[in-house]
Structure 1
Amino acid sequence: MTEALLTIQQLNKTFTSSKGAVQALHDVQLHVKEGEFITVIGPSGCGKSTLLKIIAGLDAQYTGVVRLGGEPIKAPGIDKGFIFQEPRLFPWLTVEKNIAADLSLKQADVRRKVDELIALVRLEGFQKAYPRELSGGMAQRVAIARALLRSPKVLLLDEPFGALDAFTRTHMQEVLIDIWQKNKTTMIFVTHDIDEAIYLGNRVVILKPRPGAIRNIVPIDLPFPRKKSTTSFQELRLKVLNEFEKIEELELVDSSGI
C-alpha cells in the first residue's frame, strides 16, 4: 500500500461558545495519496471548512493526528496552498505581481515560474491587468496561480467557485482539472454541489453534521473528460444523493428524540 501524503486519524474538534461546548468534528479518519483529487461535500454546518482549516494549519486546537508528508501540521506553511471562497487579491497590484505576492519579479526564477503559471491558468495577455479589470473567474485563476507559486504539497480549496454564475463555474471546473492533470498537485476541494464533487474528484468524501463526521467515501472511477449527462455519472449522483437522504433521516430521528 502506498504511504499517504496526508494522514488524518481520530480527529476531533470542539468549539466553545456562550451556549457551551459544540463538537464540530468527530473521529475523522482520512488518508489522501499524493496526486489525488479529493472532494468534500455535506450539509451546512457539517465541518467542511473547519476540516480544511485544520489541514491548512490555520486551526491547531484539536485532538487527534493530522500529518502532511509524515510531519505533524502545526501551523500554516508554503507546503499548503489555500484558496478561499473569494480571490482576496491585492487591488493595487497587477495579475503578475499578485501571483508573485511577497517575491520579487526581478528574480529570474520567479519571473519564469509566474509566466508558466499564467499560461497554466489561461491568463496570457492579462499579466499587467489589475483585479478591477478581471471577471470573477479570472480573479480566482489568479488566486490559484498564486497558491501554486511555491509548489505546495497540497492545494486546499474552500468552495472557490460558489459565487460564480453557472457558465463560468463550469468553465472553471474544466480549468482546474486541466491544472491538476498537468501539475499533479494533490487537491482537496470543498463544495456544496454534488455534480461538482463528482465531476472533479477521484473520491467524494461525504460528511454528516452534528457532530461532523465522515458518513461515506464514494470512489469516482470515471475517466476524464467527464460528461454529467452520461448514465455512469448519473448513477454516481444517485448514490451520493441516497447518502444525503440517509443523513436527513438520521437528523429527523435525532430531532424527534426517538
Structure 2
Amino acid sequence: MTEPLLKIENLNKTFQSNKGFVQALNNIQLQVKEGEFITVIGPSGCGKSTLLKIIAGLDVQYNGDVRLGGQSIKGPGIDKGFIFQEPRLFPWLTVEKNIAADLSLRDSEVRKKVDELIELVRLEGFQKSYPRELSGGMAQRVAIARALLRNPKVLLLDEPFGALDAFTRTHMQEVLIDIWQKNKTTMIFVTHDIDEAIYLGNRVVILKPRPGAIRNIVSIDLPLPRKKTTTSFQQLRLKVLNEFERIEELELIDSSGI
C-alpha cells in the first residue's frame, strides 16, 4: 500500500490569549494522497488557516505528528508552496520577475520554467507587465505560478479567491482546475464557499469550531469539468449543508449547557 504524501496524526494546537489557553485544533487526523485536491471548509474560527499554516511549516508550536513525504515538517521549505488571500507580489518587478523571485531569468532552465508557467496560468503577453497593471485574478495567477516554480510537493491555498468578484472567482476556479489537471500538484485549498469546495475538491474536509476538529470528510466523485447546476452537484451541496446545520445545532446545545 502506497504511503500518503501528507500524514497528520493526533494534531492539537493551543493558543494563549488574555482569557487563558484556547484550543484551536483538536485531534486532527488526515491523510492526503499524492495528486489529490483537498478542500477545507468550516465556520469562522474553526482553525482552517491554522491547519494550513502548520502544514506549511509556518507554525511549529503544536502537539502531534505532521509529515510530508515521510518527513516531519520542521519549518517552511521549497517542498511547500503557499498562496495567501492576497497575491503579495513585488510591485517593482514585472510578472516574469515576480514568478522567478530570487532566481535569475538569465539561467536558461529558469527562463524555460517561467515561460511554461506563464502559459500554464494563462498570462501570455503579460510577461513585462507590473502588478499595478493586472486585475486581481491575474495577480493571483502570478502568485500561483511563483509558488509552482520549484515544483513543490504540495500547494497550500488560503482563500485565494475570497476578494474577487463572482465572475472572476468562477474563472479562477476553472484556471486552477486546469493547472491541477496539467501539473498533477497535490493541492489543499481553504475556502468559506461550499460550492467552491465541491467544485474544486476530490474530498471536502468539514471542520467544526471550538475547538477545531474534523466533523466529516465528503468524497466528491463528480467527473470534470463540473457543473454547479446538475442534480448530482446539488445533492452533494445539500449533504455538506446538512453537516453545517448539525454543527450549528451542536453549538446551540453547547452554549445552552444542555
Q: Which residue matches 1:4? A: 4
> Could you tell me which amino acid in structure 2 is paired with residue 183 of structure 1?
N
Q: Which residue matches 1:136? A: 136
The 3-state SS of whatever aligns with 1:179 is helix
Q: Which residue matches 2:112? A: 112
Q: Which residue matches 1:225? A: 225
Q: Which residue matches 1:240? A: 240
Deviation by residue 1:201-237 (Cα, 9 ceiling, x = unmatched): 0000000000000000000000000000000000000
> Could you tell me which amino acid in structure 2 is paired with residue 223 of structure 1?
P
Q: Which residue matches 1:37? A: 37
- Report the Cα distance in structure 2 between the residues aligned to 1:186 and 1:241, rounded to whole angstroms: 26
Q: Which residue matches 1:73? A: 73
> Could you tell me which amino acid in structure 2 is paired with residue 74 of structure 1?
K
The 3-state SS of whatever aligns with 2:156 is strand
Give, in angstroms, the shift of residue 18 of structure 1. Answer: 1.4
- Report the Cα distance in structure 2 between the residues aligned to 1:17 and 1:36, rounded to whole angstroms: 36
Give, in angstroms, the shift of residue 2 of structure 1. Answer: 2.5
Deviation by residue 1:94-124 (Cα, 9 ceiling, x = unmatched): 0000000000000000000000000000000
Deviation by residue 1:164-203 (Cα, 9 ceiling, x = unmatched): 0000000000000000000000000000000000000000
Give, in angstroms, the shift of residue 3 of structure 1. Answer: 1.2
Give, in angstroms, the shift of residue 140 of structure 1. Answer: 0.1
Q: What TM-score do the two structures reach when normalised by structure 1?
A: 1.00
Consecutive unaligned residues in structure 2, runs of 5 or more: none
Identical-pair percentage: 88
Deviation by residue 1:133-176 (Cα, 9 ceiling, x = unmatched): 00000000000000000000000000000000000000000000
- Report the Cα distance in structure 2 between the residues aligned to 1:60 and 1:236, rounded to whole angstroms: 35
Give, in angstroms, the shift of residue 8 of structure 1. Answer: 0.1
Consecutive unaligned residues in structure 1, runs of 5 or more: none
- Report the Cα distance in structure 2 between the residues aligned to 1:252 and 1:6, rounded to whole angstroms: 34
Deviation by residue 1:63-112 (Cα, 9 ceiling, x = unmatched): 00000000000000000000000000000000000000000000000000
- Report the Cα distance in structure 2 between the residues aligned to 1:255 and 1:12, rounded to whole angstroms: 23
List aligned pairs for 1:1-258, cutoff 5 A.
1-258=1-258
The 3-state SS of whatever aligns with 1:157 is strand
The 3-state SS of whatever aligns with 2:147 is helix
> Could you tell me which amino acid in structure 1 is paired with residue 63 of structure 2?
T
- Report the Cα distance in structure 2 between the residues aligned to 1:152 and 1:254, rounded to whole angstroms: 41
**Where does structure 1 differ by over 2 angstroms across 4 or more consecutive aligned residues?**
none
Q: What TM-score do the two structures reach when normalised by structure 2?
A: 1.00
